[in-house]
Amino acid sequence: MVREEVLFLREDEVRSLLAPQDVIQAAESVFYHIGTGEITVGTMALMFTDDTRQNNFHSMPAVLHFQNVAGVKWISTYSAPAPGYPFSHGNIILLSDTVTGSPIAVVGGTGITAMRTAGGHGVVQAKHLANPDPEVLTVMGCGAQAQAGIRGFLTQFPTLRQVRLYSRSRGPMEEVQREHRDRAEVVLCASPAEAVQGSNLILMASGAQTALLETDMVRPGTTVIGIEGFRDIEPSLAKQADKWYLGYRRPDQDIINSPRLNPGHRLSNDDVFGDMTELLTGKVPGRQSEGEIIVSTHMGMGAHDVYCANLAYQRALERGLGQKIRLA
């Protein structure tokens, strides 16, 4: 009988194994290896649990051929959660060895989701599309993803000296201000318009259901990174920008098709200049002049989570972390 042993990694163990720079490198590697054909991104399955279609589970599979690992993230997103429960929690990533076909790990995925989104692929999009050496970063939102984004951007861009932050909740903004007071000035802003003053790098991570960033608020030379499609960005900005990039065209088709992510269906595939898998493999150019306005949106995909989970798994084996569970 084949002995199958799975390593279980808790959320706190995952946090101890991954740093902001790790998820930035992971996101960049995922975009590149999709472009070279070394990663297969599976089709996401979305299943609603209620008649109002506010609460759902979805699975996000991927095969990382060059690492001999396959995996799937299982995640809940509840817009109408039970009292006392958050929008999303208890997410897991299941890993299998593609050589033997055996499961190898179950990894806590909630922390990875927050880290790899704004702080992972959001940072990579900015790294390849923003004007060099930005000094001011605008962030709309102050939830877990926005906070991970701030950490990632401050890691990637040493020239950043100021973060201009807008959120409806002041308490979390004050926490961010205290966390980064030795690294950068964090300015708490009363409005989106105030937050974009003097900035040419904007991260949209608010979770708002209406546009906070309007087209006429964006000046030439600005790069806008969106992690929620056009829920919190005026869609006309992508039409009027010099270039609009997706993360990966196939899963990001949801940005174009969804009435929530593309209000009024104002945007189409004809408006897309390219995606990050094409950019990193030299199939399309990036920023070509200082004055270009560039928008880049990406909803994420399981390949990012599988890559990060596998990295955490490999490090856990080296450090003796996690709990081993016998399946057979």
Q: Which tens digit of pLDDT belongs to each residue from 257-281? A: 998 899 988 999 999 999 999 999 9
pLDDT of 229 strictly over 90:
yes
Q: Which residues of 148-163 are buried (b: 16+ CB within 10 A; e: fewer)?
A: bbbbbbbbbbeebebb
Residue 84 φ/ψ, nearest 5 degrees: 90, -5
Q: What is the mean pLDDT of the chain?
A: 95
Q: Give pLDDT tens digits for 170-183.
A: 999 999 999 999 99
Q: Residue range 160-167: average pLDDT?
A: 98
Burial class (CB in 10 A: 0-12, 13-18, 19+), 94: buried
The CATH number fitting domain 118-300, selected from 3.90.960.10, 3.40.50.720, 3.40.50.300, 2.60.40.10: 3.40.50.720
pLDDT of 118 strictly over 90:
no
Domain ranges across the chain: 5-112+303-326, 118-300
CA separation for the pair 10, 241 (Å, rounded): 42
Closest CA to 215 of 205, 202, 228, 227: 202
Q: Residue range 85-96: average pLDDT?
A: 94
pLDDT tier, 58 (very low <50, low <70, confident <90, very high otherwise): very high
Helices within 110-169 (DSSP H only): 110-116, 122-129, 144-156
Rounded to 10°, the helix 20-35/144-156 angle is 90
Which residue has tokens 């080296």?
318
pLDDT of 207 strictly over 90:
no
Neighbours of 52 (CB within 10 A): 9
Neighbours of 173 (CB within 10 A): 22
**Residue 36, amino acid:** T
Whether the domain at 5-112+303-326 and the domain at 118-300 fall into the same CATH topology: no
The structure's pTM equals 0.94
- Residue 148, pLDDT score: 94
pLDDT of 3 strictly over 80:
no
Class of domain 5-112+303-326: alpha beta
Residues 6 or more apart in contact with residue 253 via CB below 8 angstroms: 269
User: Which two tokens mark 315?
Assistant: 């490090």
Residue 263 φ/ψ, nearest 5 degrees: -55, 130
- Residue 48, pLDDT score: 94
Q: Which residues of 257-292 are buried (b: 16+ CB within 10 A; e: fewer)?
A: eeeebbbeeebeeebbbbbbbbbbeeeeebbeeeeb
- Residue 282, pLDDT score: 98
Q: Residue range 78-85: average pLDDT?
A: 93
pLDDT of 1 strictly over 70:
no
